[in-house]
């Protein structure tokens, strides 16, 4: 048990990094995939099942939880860890991204953002200071700065304005966060798809000497190669001794290519959302279980998997559950998908330690391409 936040680099292989973050509530093996638990639940999963897939940390969401059940109420209930039954680290987003994508009647100023709840229409104000306060009330271990993420495509003027304001908000969040030894506040690099603005943002945040750095403003509709180009610009500027978190990413292919460009942490709704729609991620690639070709396929998704959902149920049964919109269908395919994502991260970590990440990456992509045997 450490009372501090420490990131240790264990091995590197090219730009890929194998590390470990030590925190009071537990350690995080990197590169890490962080399941999204927006409203205090990883949808269709029990928390001990989430841990069983190999997750070291989950995500919670300031926007959703401040609206329901409320930040002060969450604090009175003992915080998000006790509320949701997850005693390991939790990372919370600052809420700005969700305000811009979910709420109504938004007004964004230097002071912060005011918005209308998508649940009951009530008015709320979120300043950088209030976002950090809410994340503290939730009991978050890794807190994100309040930022403005611009949807692409956007004009250079718009992207620069949002990037500069996000930089000013990072400083306000750093002051509001203060010194909390066992916790961390990460800055978020913005700058859209413009290299010079990405460099300005990364250098500006680096000067604040934060405990970790997220790369934001991506996975917002841009082509994969634009995302990867922005990583090539941004990662070399960020301090190598601090963790790097690519927000909202991504598919298994995105994960491989982003690890190869120096990213340590990922979150994405893909495995859980796809699971609820009957889309299974496996070592052989994606399988749409709604497709009639699975109706009499007695094979499991992956007989070599350690996950019961992948090993102990026929594709015919999963096809039936998904077609019938049975709750168990969502549960089993979500379980399979999160297990696959964690198995992929585990393979990535081992390959970096063995100095064979490039081979592992090529072999994995080859398996996907060969498709569903």
Ligand X SMILES: Cc1ccc(CCc2c3nc[nH]c3cc3c(=O)[nH]c(N)nc23)cc1
- Please state the closest distance from residue 60 (CB atom) to ligand X, in A: 6
Write out the binding residues for ligand X, residues 244-303 only, by CB under 6 A: 247-248, 267
| Phi, psi (degrees; rounded to nearest 5) at 305 | -75, 150
Is 35 among the residues that bind ligand X (CB under 6 A)?
Answer: no
Active-site annotation holds for 312: no
Tokens for 366, please give them: 């080859």
Is 67 among the residues that bind ligand X (CB under 6 A)?
Answer: no
- Please state the closest distance from residue 269 (CB atom) to ligand X, in A: 7
Tokens for 122, please give them: 């009530």
Coil, strand or helix at 123: strand
Other CB atoms within 10 A of residue 106 CB: 13
Write out the binding residues for ligand X, residues 198-217 only, by CB under 6 A: 216-217
The region, left, alpha or beta by phi > 0 then psi within -120 to 50, assigned to residue 190 is beta
Q: Which DSSP symbol is given to 36?
A: B
Q: Among residues 5, 7, 97, 177, which is the contact residue for ligand X, using CB under 6 A?
A: 97
Is 192 among the residues that bind ligand X (CB under 6 A)?
Answer: no
Q: How far apart are CA 121 and CA 124, in angstroms?
A: 9
Is 318 among the residues that bind ligand X (CB under 6 A)?
Answer: no
Q: Among residues 219, 238, 270, 280, which is the contact residue for ligand X, using CB under 6 A?
A: 219
Give me the catalytic one of 13, 193, 264, 267.
267
- In terms of CB distance, is 12 or 224 closer to ligand X? 224
Give me the catalytic one of 93, 141, 254, 302.
93
Peptide bond into 125 cis (omega under 30): no
Is 193 among the residues that bind ligand X (CB under 6 A)?
Answer: no
Tokens for 304, please give them: 């070599």
Give the closest residue to 127 by CA, choosing from 111, 116, 108: 111
The region, left, alpha or beta by phi > 0 then psi within -120 to 50, assigned to residue 57 is beta
Q: Among residues 28, 32, 59, 235, which is the contact residue for ligand X, using CB under 6 A?
A: 59
Burial class (CB in 10 A: 0-12, 13-18, 19+), 144: buried
Active-site annotation holds for 343: no
- In terms of CB distance, is 248 or 300 closer to ligand X? 248
Which segment (11-19, 92-100, 179-187, 316-324) binds ligand X by CB under 6 A?
92-100
- Please state the closest distance from residue 216 (CB atom) to ligand X, in A: 2
Q: Among residues 13, 20, 93, 302, which is the contact residue for ligand X, using CB under 6 A?
A: 93
Is residue 9 within 8 A of residue 329, CB to CB? The reply is no
- In terms of CB distance, is 144 or 309 closer to ligand X? 144
**Residue whose pair of structure tokens reads 């299974």 in the numeric block:** 280
Is 142 among the residues that bind ligand X (CB under 6 A)?
Answer: no
Coil, strand or helix at 3: coil
- Please state the closest distance from residue 267 (CB atom) to ligand X, in A: 5
User: Mind telling me the catalytic residues?
Assistant: 93, 267
Residues that bind ligand X (CB under 6 A): 36, 38, 59-61, 93-94, 96-97, 144, 147, 149, 188, 216-217, 219-220, 247-248, 267
């Amino acid at each position: 048990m450490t009372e501090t936040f420490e990131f240790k680099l264990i091995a590197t292989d090219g730009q890929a990094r194998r590390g470990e973050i030590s925190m009071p509530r537990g350690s995080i093996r990197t590169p890490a995939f962080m399941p999204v638990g927006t409203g205090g639940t990883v949808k269709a999963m029990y928390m001990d099942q989430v841990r069983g897939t190999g997750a070291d940390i989950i995500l919670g969401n300031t926007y959703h939880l401040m609206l329901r059940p409320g930040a002060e109420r969450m604090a009175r209930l003992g915080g998000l860890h006790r509320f949701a039954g997850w005693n390991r680290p939790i990372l919370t987003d600052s809420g700005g991204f969700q305000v811009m994508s979910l709420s109504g009647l938004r007004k964004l100023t230097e002071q912060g953002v005011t918005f209308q709840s998508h649940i009951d229409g009530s008015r709320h104000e979120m300043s950088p200071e209030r976002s950090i306060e809410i994340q503290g009330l939730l009991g978050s271990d890794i807190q994100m700065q309040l930022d403005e993420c611009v949807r692409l495509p956007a004009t250079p003027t718009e992207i620069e304005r949002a990037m500069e304001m996000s930089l000013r908000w990072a400083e306000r969040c750093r002051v509001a966060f203060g010194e909390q030894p066992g916790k961390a506040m990460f800055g978020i690099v913005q700058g859209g798809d413009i290299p010079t603005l990405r460099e300005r943002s990364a250098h500006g945040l680096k000067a604040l000497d934060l405990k970790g750095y997220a790369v934001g403003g991506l996975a917002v509709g841009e082509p994969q190669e634009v995302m990867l180009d922005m990583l090539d610009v941004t990662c070399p500027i960020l301090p190598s001794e601090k963790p790097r978190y690519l927000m909202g990413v991504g598919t298994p292919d995105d994960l491989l290519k982003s690890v190869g460009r120096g990213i340590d942490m990922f979150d994405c709704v893909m495995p859980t959302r796809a699971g609820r729609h009957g889309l299974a991620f496996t070592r052989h690639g994606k399988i749409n279980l709604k497709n009639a070709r699975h109706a009499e396929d007695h094979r499991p998704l992956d007989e070599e998997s350690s996950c019961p959902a992948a090993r102990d149920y026929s594709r015919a049964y999963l096809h039936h559950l998904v077609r019938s919109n049975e709750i168990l269908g969502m549960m089993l395919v979500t379980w399979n998908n999160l297990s696959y994502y964690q198995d992929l991260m585990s393979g990535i970590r081992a390959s970096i330690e063995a100095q064979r990440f490039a081979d592992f990456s090529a072999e994995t992509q080859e398996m996907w391409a060969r498709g569903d045997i």
